[in-house]
């Protein structure tokens, strides 16, 4: 199974900051890497698909990059509503797998 | 408007079978696949398996021996059955619309506790 390692586990941020979250795959997943946001007591929400493709309705401050084994989710100007856990997920091979998440908290 | 809603018991006895139903609206089960994803409290999600739009199925090999996914297209429902439940099967179970391995719509989830 493909293991996805996310770092850091927790990130303390100040509103307005530009931040980057990392997801590293144990083997190449090409660009079959997707990002989700999960707010407390809510279901996950698809943020970015295929490493860098935007999703309708998602604010433009969210962007993704990478291919192969190294991926980044960036938030350009963090807002309070962005405080959540972010998960990456690979869809290159079965079983689909998720990372353990990066939790964004206020500094 | 795409919607998915899970239903089923919140409490299951150890060694018993879990049965969940996902009722969908706003899309056809013969055009889109549906996956089941579970999430232990405080941990990342785990993909369990998929009902393809053509009726085929795919399972996580870690669960395959215990898991069965089926559907009733006339009722817009997808079913999950998993046997021999243990305490580490406790968590929130979601059904999701599965758009070529991205999960673009999620149900609200159902919390399942395995305990005697």
Instruction: Please name the residue of chain B whose CA is at the shortest distance from the CA of residue A47.
Output: B104
pLDDT tens sequence for chain A (107 residues): 999 999 999 999 999 999 999 999 999 999 999 999 999 999 999 999 999 999 999 999 999 999 999 999 999 999 999 999 999 999 999 999 999 999 999 88
Nearest C-alpha in B relative to A55? B104
Taking an 8 Å cut-off on Cβ atoms, the answer to whether A43 and B102 are in contact is no
The pLDDT of residue B100: 87
Distance CA A68, CA B46 (A): 22
Q: How many angstroms separate the CA of residue B17 from the nearest CA in chain A?
A: 23
**In chain B, what is the greatest distance between 2 CA atoms, to the nearest angstrom?**
40
Q: State whether B106 and A45 contact (CB < 8 Å).
A: yes
Confidence label for B57 from pLDDT (cuts 50, 70 and 90): very high
For residue A107, what pLDDT is reported?
Answer: 83
Sign of CA dihedral A49, A54, A59, A60: positive
Are B8 and B20 within 8 A, CB to CB? yes
């Amino acid at each position: 199974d493909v293991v996805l390692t996310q770092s850091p586990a927790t990130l303390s941020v100040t509103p307005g900051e530009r931040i980057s979250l990392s997801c590293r795959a144990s083997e190449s997943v090409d660009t079959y890497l997707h990002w989700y946001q999960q707010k407390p007591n809510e279901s996950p929400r698809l943020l970015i698909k295929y490493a860098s493709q935007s999703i309708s309705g998602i604010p433009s401050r969210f962007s993704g990059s990478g291919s192969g084994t190294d991926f980044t989710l960036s938030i350009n100007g963090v807002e309070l509503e962005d405080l959540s856990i972010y998960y990456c997920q690979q869809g290159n091979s079965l079983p689909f797998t998720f990372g353990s998440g990066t939790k964004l908290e206020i500094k | 408007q795409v919607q998915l809603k899970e239903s089923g018991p919140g409490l299951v006895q150890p060694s018993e079978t879990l049965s969940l139903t996902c009722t969908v609206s706003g899309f056809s089960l013969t055009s889109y696949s549906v996956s089941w994803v579970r999430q232990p409290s405080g941990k990342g999600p785990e993909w369990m398996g998929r009902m393809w739009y053509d009726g085929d199925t795919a399972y996580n090999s870690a669960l395959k021996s215990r898991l069965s996914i089926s559907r009733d297209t006339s009722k817009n429902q997808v079913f999950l059955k998993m046997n021999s439940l243990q305490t580490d099967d406790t968590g929130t179970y979601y059904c999701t619309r599965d758009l070529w391995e991205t999960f673009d719509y999620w149900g609200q989830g159902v919390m399942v506790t395995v305990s005697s």
